[in-house]
């Protein structure tokens, strides 16, 4: 094994999780003494810790006492028929990869060994080329073992601490969301879930429903932003049949269908004013009036509403009724974006891999997990799931590598660029001992620059009201006017912004 190969192996073995910390060990089982001696010398030179034996019984005893990194064995040892030895090894150490070693004229025994569970089959090395092939196969086997261990630990993390139903995440932020869900004791209390698109608001709504007292009753989702005013009203409240052929069939509304259960109103911020008024009346009266016959039907339904942003701004702009907001906001839950909880990315990626692969054999390489964790994910968990699905279709083996990952977002997207900038900004502030006020000003400047001056986009990146940015602009303009006659001095936040790398396509400066 070359020095570069050893370095690659060490990188694999001492990755981010540091799962394997010792010299890779290998057990060699072969009945030919001269072959054993050659292999022991060869593998020791390649950097392995080698144990050799000519005895099947001795090999099985060693495997009972010790966990080797991998096993190299002749499947047709004395006293063994066909793949019997491979099967016995796999029974003792199912997680340890076994490489079958045969002579070049025994192809069938190699095929039988792979069917019995061998990781791969190699020809007993007689020359330099065959020794090189053996080394490559052993490298692959060792990498496979390491990845299996990494993924097993990750699966255990999911099973042990990271999952609440289908709601996956081990970050403090997601633990707070899970705690909020567990804290909902009154099945009548309405819930308002806010968070960026793709953060899993409907999944949270389903988790609330199916983990609570209403789990045996209906869960009815309605997309408020996908229908016209008339269609949404009919969808929610139903209608009575009329004499007209096209309206002859009466129809229950979603509120009535959800009786005793949960009505999920997605994108409630898009609900027209007239429908908001009618919904508010239904919540106050605990009854719905059926259009067409004037009947009122008593209903017991809990509403979980979702919005991509806080409804306070919609209230100030007159787009949402404040009284309806107070009804829906009895229990508020804020879902954090994926970029703010990077420790959840590998856990989510593993969960999506298990969901979509189905066979349990696919796994992410260490490089792929690192690349996923480095991405900004403006599309949040929905984008991550799509990325994993696409990687599964592109991967040529059970190991998904960095090259198999395709990201939907443009690397020059403002959200993506700002995600990289804000980390550099923090480091720069620490190095220069910038005050919190100046750091805040520079942070806003960086967002405006990444957004090319678009205040609505910059406000979304910063998680603030865009009117705050307009007021800030007015305040800066007044200060500039007052200082127009004085000698200008460098502004510290601006100086910091100039020290940051420029975003592709951004303006040189933003007022």
Q: Which domain holds residue 492?
A: 414-499
Model pLDDT, residue 423: 55
In which band, very low, low, confident or very high, does the pLDDT at 427 lie, cut at 50, 70 and 90? low
C-alpha torsion sign, points 378, 383, 385, 391: negative
The total domain count for the chain is 4
Give the pLDDT score at 22: 53
For residue 428, pLDDT over 60 is answered with no
Rounded Cα gap, residues 141 and 98, in angstroms: 8
Question: Does 102 map to a domain?
Answer: yes
Asked whether the beta carbons of 228 and 269 are under 8 A apart, the reply is: no
Pair (180, 212) in one structural domain: yes
Question: Are 38 and 114 in the same domain?
Answer: yes
**CA dist., res. 367 & res. 369, Å (int):** 5
Q: Counting every residue, how long is the chain?
A: 511
Can you point out the beta strands (E) in 269-417? 287-289, 296-298, 302-307, 331-334, 363-364, 399-400
Averaged pLDDT, 383-404: 88
pLDDT grade for 445, boundaries at 50, 70 and 90: confident
Q: What is the pLDDT of residue 3?
A: 42
Q: What is the CATH number of the domain that holds 90?
A: 3.40.50.2300
pLDDT 10s digits, 455-464: 777 777 777 7
Whole-angstrom distance, CA of residue 116 vs CA of residue 88 = 10
Burial class of residue 172 (count of CB atoms within 10 Å of its CB; 0-12, 13-18, 19+): exposed
pLDDT of residue 120: 86
- Match 């007239």 to its residue by tokens: 274
46 pLDDT tier (thresholds 50, 70, 90): confident
pLDDT bin (cut points 50, 70, 90) of residue 7 is very low
Say which residue, 507 or 105, is predicted with more confidence: 105
pLDDT band (50, 70, 90) for residue 409: low
Non-local (6+) Cβ contacts of 423 within 8 A are: none
Tokens read off for 242? 């009329």
Same domain, 33 and 127: yes
CA–CA dist 333, 160 (Å, integer) = 24
Q: Identify the DSSP state of 390.
A: H
Count of beta carbons in the 10 Å neighbourhood of residue 159: 9
Q: For the chain, give the mean pLDDT.
A: 78
Q: Are residues 310 and 348 in the same domain?
A: no
More confident: 266 or 394: 266
pLDDT tier, 167 (very low <50, low <70, confident <90, very high otherwise): confident
Dihedral sign of CA atoms 116, 122, 125, 126 in order: positive
pLDDT of residue 334: 94
Does an H or E element contain 193, and which? strand 191-194
Element (H, E) at 312: helix 312-316
pLDDT computed for residue 150 by the predictor: 62
Return the higher-pLDDT residue of 441 and 388: 388
Domain contains 505:
no
CA-based nearest residue to 224, from 188, 275, 260: 275
Can you give the pLDDT at residue 501? 41
- In whole angstroms, what is the distance from residue 85 CA to residue 316 CA? 75
Residue 442 lies in a domain: yes
Query: Hey, CA dihedral for 421, 427, 432, 436, is it positive or negative?
Result: positive
Distance between CA atoms of 357 and 353, rounded to whole angstroms?
A: 6
Burial class (CB in 10 A: 0-12, 13-18, 19+), 177: buried
| Residue after which a domain boundary falls, among 111, 133, 159 | 159
Mean of the pLDDT values across residues 184-200? Answer: 93
Q: Are 333 and 310 in contact (CB under 8 A)?
A: no
CATH number for the domain that contains residue 236: 3.40.50.300
Nearest alpha-carbon partner for 73 in 108, 119, 105: 119
Show the beta-strand stretches assigned E in 195-325: 219-223, 262-266, 287-289, 296-298, 302-307
Query: Cβ contacts of residue 1 below 8 Å, gap of 6+?
Result: 9, 45, 46, 47, 135, 139
SS3 237: helix
Q: Is the pLDDT of residue 123 over 90?
A: no
Does residue 280 surpass a pLDDT of 50?
Answer: yes
Which pLDDT does position 419 carry in this prediction? 54
Residues 151 and 287 in one domain: no
Would you say residue 475 lies in a domain? yes
- The domain boundary, picked from 99, 133, 159, lies at 159
Q: Same domain for 391 and 273? A: no
160 falls in which pLDDT band (50, 70, 90)? very low
> Does 247 map to a domain?
no
Residue 270 lies in a domain: yes
Supply the pLDDT for residue 205: 93
pLDDT confidence bin for 177, thresholds 50/70/90: very high
pLDDT of residue 302 exceeding 90, the answer is: yes
């Amino acid at each position: 094994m070359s020095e570069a190969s050893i370095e690659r192996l060490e990188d694999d073995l001492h990755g981010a999780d540091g799962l394997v910390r010792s010299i890779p060990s290998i057990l060699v089982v072969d009945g030919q003494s001269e072959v054993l001696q050659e292999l022991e010398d060869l593998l020791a030179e390649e950097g392995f810790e080698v144990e050799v034996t000519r005895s099947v019984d001795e090999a099985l005893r060693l495997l009972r006492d010790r966990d080797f990194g991998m096993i190299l064995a002749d499947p047709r040892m004395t006293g063994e028929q066909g793949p019997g030895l491979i099967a016995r090894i796999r029974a003792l150490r199912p997680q340890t990869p076994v490489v079958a070693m045969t002579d070049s004229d025994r192809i069938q025994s190699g095929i039988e060994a792979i069917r019995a569970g061998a990781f791969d089959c190699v020809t007993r090395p007689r020359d330099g080329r065959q020794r090189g092939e053996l080394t490559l196969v052993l490298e692959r086997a060792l990498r496979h073992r390491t990845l299996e261990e990494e993924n097993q630990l990750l699966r255990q993390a999911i099973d042990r601490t990271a999952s609440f139903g289908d709601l996956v995440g081990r970050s403090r932020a997601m633990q707070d969301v899970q705690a909020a869900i567990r804290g909902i004791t009154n099945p009548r209390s309405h819930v308002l879930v806010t968070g960026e698109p793709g953060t899993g608001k409907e999944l949270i709504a389903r988790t609330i429903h199916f983990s609570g007292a209403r789990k045996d009753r209906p869960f009815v989702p309605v997309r408020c932003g996908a229908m016209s005013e008339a269609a949404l009203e009919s969808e929610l409240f139903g209608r009575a049949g009329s004499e007209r052929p096209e309206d002859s069939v009466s129809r229950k509304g979603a509120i009535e269908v959800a009786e005793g259960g949960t009505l999920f109103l997605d994108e409630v911020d898009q609900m027209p004013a007239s429908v908001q008024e009618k919904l508010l009346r239904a919540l106050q009266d605990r009854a719905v009036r059926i259009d067409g016959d004037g009947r009122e039907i008593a209903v017991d339904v809990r509403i979980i509403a979702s919005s991509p942003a806080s409804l306070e701004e919609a209230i100030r702009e007159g787009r949402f009724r404040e009284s309806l907001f107070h009804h829906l906001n009895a229990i508020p839950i804020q879902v954090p974006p994926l970029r703010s909880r990077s420790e959840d990315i590998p856990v989510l990626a593993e969960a999506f891999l298990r969901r979509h692969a189905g066979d349990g054999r696919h796994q992410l390489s260490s490089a792929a997990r690192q690349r996923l964790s480095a991405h900004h994910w403006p599309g949040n968990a929905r984008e991550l799931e799509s990325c994993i699905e696409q990687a599964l279709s592109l991967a040529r083996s059970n190991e998904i590598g960095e090259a198999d990952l395709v990201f939907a977002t443009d690397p020059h997207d403002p959200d993506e660029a700002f995600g990289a900038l804000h980390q550099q900004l923090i480091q720069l502030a620490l190095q220069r001992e910038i005050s919190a006020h100046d750091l805040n000003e520079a942070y806003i400047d960086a967002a405006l620059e990444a957004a090319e001056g678009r205040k609505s986009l910059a406000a979304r990146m910063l998680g603030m009201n865009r009117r705050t940015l307009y007021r800030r602009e007015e305040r800066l303009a007044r200060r500039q006017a007052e200082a127009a006659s004085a000698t200008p001095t460098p502004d510290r936040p601006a100086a910091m912004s100039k020290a940051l790398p420029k975003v592709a396509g951004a303006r040189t400066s933003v007022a």
